[in-house]
Structure 1
Amino acid sequence: MFSFLFHTIFYQPIYNLLVGLAAVLPTNDVGVAIIIVTVVIRLVTLPLMHKSVKSQRRMKEIEPEIEAIRVKHKGNTQEQGAKIMALYKEHGINPFSGFGALIIQIPIIYALFWVVQGLAIVPAELYSFTPFPPSLNLMFLGFVDVTKSSIVIAILAGVAQFFQAKLSIPKLDKSKVVEAGPASFSGSFQKSMQTQMVYFLPVMITFIGMTLPAAVSIYWVVNSAVGVAHELYVKKKAEKLSVDGKQEVGE
């Protein structure tokens, strides 16, 4: 049952989109098709991604209040949690929205991995309206075989993820945090998680990318690049609304 759902919802649509795009591209370049597929997937998941970005920026705005709660109820983690969750609810923030945006990437990457593994034209997998290419060019821009691992593309994926994570986690106003209490600032679990997102995840993606087909790393590079553009848009929108004296961001 799970295999059927995965094949129907993820594998087959990605396979058809990839093959169909490769068919209409002048050089039938699968690597270029992957770039377009990534942008399309990002647009489809935009509502979820946008909600996650907005929540992160709102969490940054109320960080001084969160720090004040941690200091006021120091030693009482249960009370801290209850007060912080109440604060999130008051501001309409879902602190777990970022996990949903990350989890949705897992089946997509898994499907892409299996699509490019021994990539070939399989008529039985094609929709009736999918263009049928004469052949598939697996050499991305004539240099990288998308079905084999590439150290260079894997490193680019890690670098792109680093910049996206760095941008998505807004810098804290330390002057405000000091007012709330320096001990809370230095010992916050949230800071630890943010550090792992910025530094550990890019390294992990790089090493994993070195063992997977270059197609997966190409996907991650483009996905992160679009993510950076999205973050910059929301940041600019938030700054504009802040100047206008508004609260809502990025609608």
Structure 2
Amino acid sequence: MGDIIVAIGTPLYYAISAILLAWHKVLGLAFGEASGWTWALSIVGLTVTIRALLIPLFVKQINSSRNMQLIQPKVKELQKKYGHDRERLAQETMKLYKDTGTNPFASCLPLIIQMPIFLSLFHLINNAAKGHAKGFLKQGDVDQLRHGSIFGANISETLTKHTTTNVVVLAVILVIAMTLTTFMTQRQLMSKNMPADAMSGPYASQQKMLLYILPVVFAVGGIAFPIGLMIYWTTSNLWTMCQQFYVIRNNPAPGTPAAKAKAERDRAKAAAKGQTAGLTVETTVVDEEPRPAVRQQPKRQTKAERQKKQGPTK
């Protein structure tokens, strides 16, 4: 087991430290290489880089979540039909997933992928706090990271150590921020992008469980997290909220509150465009000056036609 962890962790140490040092080099030009703000913002840059690389997985997660929501009525029908036969129910449910191209585990992919990165960064910062270098970090980098501070608190310290008041205050604020953003991200998905039919059943139970369990896990675990790691996770949550808000607003699942809100916005835009077009036509008609009537010239007639019109001469 230890060999597997080393085999997975070692490449991640080098990848994470390479991205971290790249951001550190750029930000060091503005704040100074030894500044705690340089290291803190480098962690933010690391987060943005990793989340940008995970965008394809996020798109897959959103599509899978949409499919899971939309097939819930069919899942309920299968439960009513095969509720007495658990094996047949499992077979028919898996067949439904396959036919609709739905992966029930895809919604957890970004979190599953992020956890090894999260743990690797934890060990990277934790080792730096002890003065040990890992990955591409050199001893000078480790010393800077170890003593780098923001708001008077070292970013490598945790609440579990005998720390200063500044560390305690900043760590508590970040634990609260990390917990709230985790809760709000999941709440945003459930309240705006889940149809009424999907609010009950196994999938809804799973979402509700994640809604309350994940924040508690991070609130309890946050006590042992270094400040730098909490900066990473809070930034990641904020990225997820913004990314999720954009997707839900512009491409909501049918039958959801977000879909109704988008329909109302589209109707308002269409009405506004119609009013603008009407005003343009009306302005064109009003501004146009009336032209004088053209006098119609009488048609020329021959002598025979005039005599015929006047009648026979007496």
TM class by smaller structure = 0.7 to 0.9
- The change in CA–CA distance for 1:118 and 1:9 in structure 2 (over 3 A counts) is closer
In structure 2, the partner of 1:20 is 22
In the alignment, is the contact (CA less than 8 A) between 2:183 and 2:211 conserved in 1? yes
Q: Work out the CA distance in 2 between the residues paired with 1:77 and 1:144.
A: 56
SS of the residue aligned with 1:104? Answer: helix
Which residue type is aligned with residue 81 of structure 1?
A: A
Structure 2 residue corresponding to 1:10, chosen from 6, 9, 12: 12
In the alignment, is the contact (CA less than 8 A) between 1:18 and 1:33 conserved in 2? yes
Shift of 1:50: 1.8
Matching of residue 115 in structure 1 with residue 124 in structure 2: yes
| Bigger relative contact order, structure 1 or 2 (CA pairs below 8 A, ≥6 apart) | 1
- The change in CA–CA distance for 1:75 and 1:239 in structure 2 (over 3 A counts) is same
In structure 1, the partner of 2:164 is none
In structure 1, the partner of 2:312 is none
Q: Work out the CA distance in 2 between the residues paired with 1:223 and 1:148.
A: 20
Instruction: Show structure 1 runs of 5+ residues with no match.
Output: 178-184, 245-251
Give the fraction of aligned pairs with identical amino acids, expressed as a percent. 23
With normalisation by structure 2, the TM-score equals 0.64
Q: Work out the CA distance in 2 between the residues paired with 1:46 and 1:15.
A: 21
Shift of 1:197: 0.3
- The change in CA–CA distance for 1:123 and 1:97 in structure 2 (over 3 A counts) is closer
Q: Work out the CA distance in 2 between the residues paired with 1:134 and 1:205.
A: 28
Matching of residue 173 in structure 1 with residue 159 in structure 2: no
Matching of residue 213 in structure 1 with residue 241 in structure 2: no
Instruction: Output aligned runs, 1:79-158, within 5 Å.
Output: 79-119=88-128, 125-126=135-136, 135-136=144-145, 138-140=148-150, 142-149=151-158, 150-158=171-179
- The change in CA–CA distance for 1:224 and 1:53 in structure 2 (over 3 A counts) is same
With normalisation by structure 1, the TM-score equals 0.78
In structure 2, the partner of 1:180 is none
Instruction: Show structure 2 runs of 5+ residues with no match.
Output: 159-170, 264-314
Q: Work out the CA distance in 1 between the residues paired with 2:63 and 2:94.
A: 17
Shift of 1:4: 5.2
Q: CA RMSD in A?
A: 3.1
Shift of 1:45: 1.8
In the alignment, is the contact (CA less than 8 A) between 2:178 and 2:219 conserved in 1? yes
Shift of 1:113: 0.7
In structure 1, the partner of 2:181 is 160
In the alignment, is the contact (CA less than 8 A) between 1:73 and 1:80 conserved in 2? yes
In the alignment, is the contact (CA less than 8 A) between 1:19 and 1:133 conserved in 2? no
Which residue type is aligned with residue 5 of structure 1?
A: A
SS of the residue aligned with 2:50? Answer: helix
In structure 2, the partner of 1:58 is 67
Which residue type is aligned with residue 171 of structure 1?
A: M
Shift of 1:143: 4.5
**Which of structures 1 and 2 has the bigger CA Rg?**
2
Which residue type is aligned with residue 194 of structure 2?
A: K
